[in-house]
Amino acid sequence: MDPQLFQYLQSFLTERRRGLFKEVLEERTRFITVVTEDVYQLHNTSAVMRSCDVFGIQDLHVIEEKLGKKVDREIAMGSQKWVDIYRHKNVVECMNELRTKGYKIVATTPHGNVTALDSFEINEPVALFFGAEKEGISQEVLDQADVRLKIPMFGFTESLNISVSAAIILQNLVSQLRNSELNWKLSEEEKKALEVQWTCKSIKRVDEIISRYEEEKNS
């Protein structure tokens, strides 16, 4: 975006909002990304998105092989403005794209021979896969995953709601990142691109404002 146009758009924001963007961008990461696979209950995907925003995760991938959905705005509570959503038609497409970008595929499951969360060390970018409410992660993801990860549980219930699982795992791994020497922060180019994106999403009728700016500039 033209720097002058960006500066003009920022004049529509409060000083507090502009400062908040800077603060949040310093804590944002793409070192961890989250994937939901055919989650049936709409509010669960939306709640996962909210957890992504809370813990500074910028990208959420949604596989919609069986079910098409829209984000539940009430549950997401505005986080759809700040988290980037990428939609995939099937598991293979999603996994291939993430591997190309350098992510280790981590399937979350309470079953089988798996790594406990408190024993898992994050030392490279990871894509966390969360499955449908009843069926869990598909066998296809389990077979191709680099790691199977579980949250240790000690009661009669053997599984947690997907949004609860995501929040617990993200809190653990994000804490690891922040206490490590890993380069987990966004690049300056990524920060600037998101700052522009967030600025535009924060202004009502921004397209009209940009059009008027361009007309006045060229007149």
Kindly report the backbone phi and psi dihedral angles of residue 16, in degrees, each rounded to the nearest multiple of 5, phi listed first. Answer: -65, -45
Instruction: For 80-111, write each residue's pLDDT tens digit.
Output: 789 999 989 889 999 999 999 999 999 999 88
Separation of first and last alpha carbons in the chain: 20
Name the DSSP letter for residue 29. Answer: B
Q: Considering the entire predicted model, what is its pTM?
A: 0.89
- 138 — pLDDT class (breaks 50, 70, 90): confident
State residue 71's pLDDT score. 54
**pLDDT value of position 32:** 98
Domain ranges of the chain: 29-184, 186-219
* Residue 158 confidence (pLDDT): 75
Q: What percent of the chain is predicted at pLDDT more than 70?
A: 90
pLDDT tens digits, 162-187: 889 999 999 999 999 999 999 999 99
Average pLDDT, the chain: 89
pLDDT value of residue 42: 65
What pLDDT is recorded for position 168?
A: 96
70 or 159: which leads in pLDDT:
159
* Coil, helix or strand at residue 108: strand
User: What is the pLDDT confidence band of residue 142, given thresholds at 50, 70 and 90?
Assistant: very high
Please give the sequence-ordered ranges of beta strands (E in DSSP) within 77-196, or none if there are none: 84-88, 104-108, 115-116, 126-130, 147-150
29-184, superfamily in CATH?
Answer: SPOUT methyltransferase, trefoil knot domain (3.40.1280.10)
Helix axes 42-54, 162-178, angle to 10 degrees: 20
Helix, strand, coil percentages for the chain (3-state, nearest 5)? 45, 15, 35
Query: Is 77's pLDDT higher than 60?
Result: no
